């Protein structure tokens, strides 16, 4: 993960991402892109798209079709945007290994540079949500408490109070949000991967998203404090009940056995 983010922060990579963002969306996001960068080298951009197309043909076309128009095995990718590509490939969900109720998160097999190339190719096919900038998803300057309220309104019903995940119908599930890169959380909200509904900026503003990410970072981050002790999975009463039975009652019964057992007798002489 660290390696990836390091590459992602490579000056050239950032430039590429920004260029793509511009190319893909125009209007709404134009404000985020400084004017001078808009005049970037066009050949570099088309080169990236070219590379992405090659990668696409090898890894994705069998399901999504050669022109990303979609087949019976995979949806059309026209207009899904670079954010969707970055999320799906960046969390290892794509390319999918096998069909199932849900495509799970797994080992990422592309480098961030390759993912960016793929994303460039896909967003060249039609405008869609763009990979967010660090500034958009970093928890700094966010209202954690407001994020908590938003999380409970919009997210907790599937992902649990603090993002531990939960069950959906027929074997589908909302995954745990523990250790998920804030960028991917942001992208998931933007794009609505698989069965997750999307939360576009028009209904869940950028600031709202930032608040939610900050809340998650506070309650489900690496340094999150669990004041009472073991979190027991953060799943609520089921794991608490199990713990009470096994360690509480189990321990007390073990003590009762000691208490009621006969004391060792002296050996008969």
Partner 1 sequence: MSTTTETTESRSRGKAPAGEKLADWADGRLGIYSLAKANMRKIFPDHWSFMLGEICLYSFLIIILTGVYLTLFFHPSMNEVEYHGSYVPLQGQLMSEAFNSTMHISFDVRGGLLIRQIHHWAALIFLAGMFVHMMRVFFTGAFRKPREVNWLFGFLLFVLGMFTGFTGYSLPDDLLSGTGVRFMEGAILSVPIVGTYLSFFLFGGEFPGGDFVARFYSIHVLLLPGIMLGLVVGHLILVFVHKHTQYAGPGKTNNNVVGMPLFPVYTAKAGGFFFLVFGVIAAIAAIASINPIWSMGPYRPDQVSTGAQPDWYMGFSEGLIRVMPGWEINFWGHTLVLGVFIPLVIFPLVLVAIAVYPFIEAWVTGDRREHHILDRPRNAPTRTAFGVAWITWYMVLLVGGGNDLWATHFHLSINSITWFVRVAFFVAPVLAFIVTKRICLGLQRRDKDKVLHGRESGIIKRLPHGEFIEVHEPLSQDALHTLTAHEQYKPAEIGPTVDENGVERKVKGSEKLRAKLSEAYFGEESQIAKPTVEEYKEITSGHGHH
Partner 2 sequence: MSSQDIPEENLPAEQDAHGAVGVADDKDPFADPGLPPHEHRVQDIDERAAKRSERTVAMLFTLSMLATIGFIAAYVGVPHDKAIFVFPIGHINALNFSLGLTLGVALFAIGAGAVHWARTLMSDVEMVDERHPIEAPPEVREKVFDDWKQGAKESAIGRRKLIRNTMLGALTLVPLAGVVLLRDLGPLPGTKLRHTMWRKGLQLVNMNTNEPLRPEDVAVGSLTFAKPEGLEEHDEEFQTEIAKAALMIVRIQPDNIKDKRELEWSHDGIVAYSKICTHVGCPISLYEQQTHHVLCPCHQSTFDLSDGARVIFGPAGHALPQLRIGVNEEGYLEALGDFEEPVGPAFWERG
Distance CA 61, CA 71 (A): 9
Site for partner 2 in 227-266 (CB under 8 A): 227-231, 258-259, 262-266
Q: Which of 74, 78, 71 has the alpha carbon at shortest distance from 103? A: 74
Among 101, 134, 141, 205, indicate the residue that binds partner 1 (CB under 8 A). Answer: 101
Q: Could you say whether residue 166 binds partner 2 (CB under 8 A)?
A: yes
Q: Looking up tokens 């080298």, which residue turns up?
A: 41
Fill in the per-residue mask, 234 to 263: x = in contact with partner 1 (CB under 8 A), - = not in contact: xxxxx-xxxxxx-xxx-xxx-xxx-xxxx-
Contact 209, 203 (CB under 8 A): no
Q: Which is nearer to partner 1, 30 or 244 (CB)?
A: 244
Q: Which is nearer to partner 1, 9 or 152 (CB)?
A: 152
Q: Could you say whether residue 34 binds partner 1 (CB under 8 A)?
A: no
Contact 233, 161 (CB under 8 A): no
Q: Could you say whether residue 164 binds partner 1 (CB under 8 A)?
A: yes
Q: Could you say whether residue 27 binds partner 1 (CB under 8 A)?
A: no
Q: Which of 215, 252, 247, 220 has the alpha carbon at shortest distance from 233? A: 220
For residue 17, give every residue at least 6 positions away whose Cβ sits within 8 Å of its Cβ, in sequence order, or none.
Answer: 82, 116, 131, 133
Q: Could you say whether residue 71 binds partner 2 (CB under 8 A)?
A: no
Among 48, 136, 162, 190, indicate the residue that binds partner 1 (CB under 8 A). Answer: 162
Apex 212 CA angle, 207 and 215, nearest 5: 125
Q: Which of 133, 30, 40, 121 has the alpha carbon at shortest distance from 77? A: 121
Residues that bind partner 1 (CB under 8 A): 101, 143-149, 152-153, 156-162, 164-171, 173-174, 215, 218-219, 226-232, 234-238, 240-245, 247-249, 251-253, 255-257, 259-262
């Amino acid at each position: 993960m660290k390696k990836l983010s390091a590459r992602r922060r490579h000056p050239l990579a950032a430039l590429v991402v920004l260029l793509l963002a511009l190319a893909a969306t125009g209007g709404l996001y134009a404000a985020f892109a400084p004017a001078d960068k808009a005049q970037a080298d066009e050949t570099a951009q088309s080169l990236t798209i070219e590379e992405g197309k090659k990668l696409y043909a090898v890894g994705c076309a069998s399901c999504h079709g050669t022109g990303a128009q979609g087949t019976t095995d995979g949806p059309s990718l026209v207009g899904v945007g670079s954010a969707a590509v970055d999320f799906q490939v960046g969390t290892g969900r794509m390319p999918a290994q096998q069909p199932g109720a849900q495509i799970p998160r797994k080992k990422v097999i592309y480098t961030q540079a390759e993912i960016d190339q793929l994303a460039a190719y896909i967003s060249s096919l039609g405008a869609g949500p763009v990979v967010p900038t660090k500034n958009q998803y970093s928890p700094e300057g966010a209202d954690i408490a407001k994020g908590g309220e938003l999380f409970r309104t919009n997210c907790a019903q599937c992902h649990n109070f603090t993002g531990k995940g939960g069950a959906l119908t027929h074997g589908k599930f909302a995954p745990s949000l523990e250790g998920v890169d804030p960028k991917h959380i942001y992208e998931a909200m933007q794009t609505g991967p698989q069965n997750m509904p999307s939360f576009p900026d028009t209904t869940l503003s950028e600031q709202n998203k930032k608040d939610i990410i900050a809340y998650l970072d506070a309650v489900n981050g690496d340094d999150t404090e669990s004041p009472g002790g073991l979190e027991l999975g953060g799943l609520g009463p089921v794991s608490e009940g199990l713990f009470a039975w096994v360690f509480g009652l189990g321990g007390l019964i073990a003590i009762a056995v000691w208490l009621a057992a006969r004391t060792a007798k002296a050996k008969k002489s």
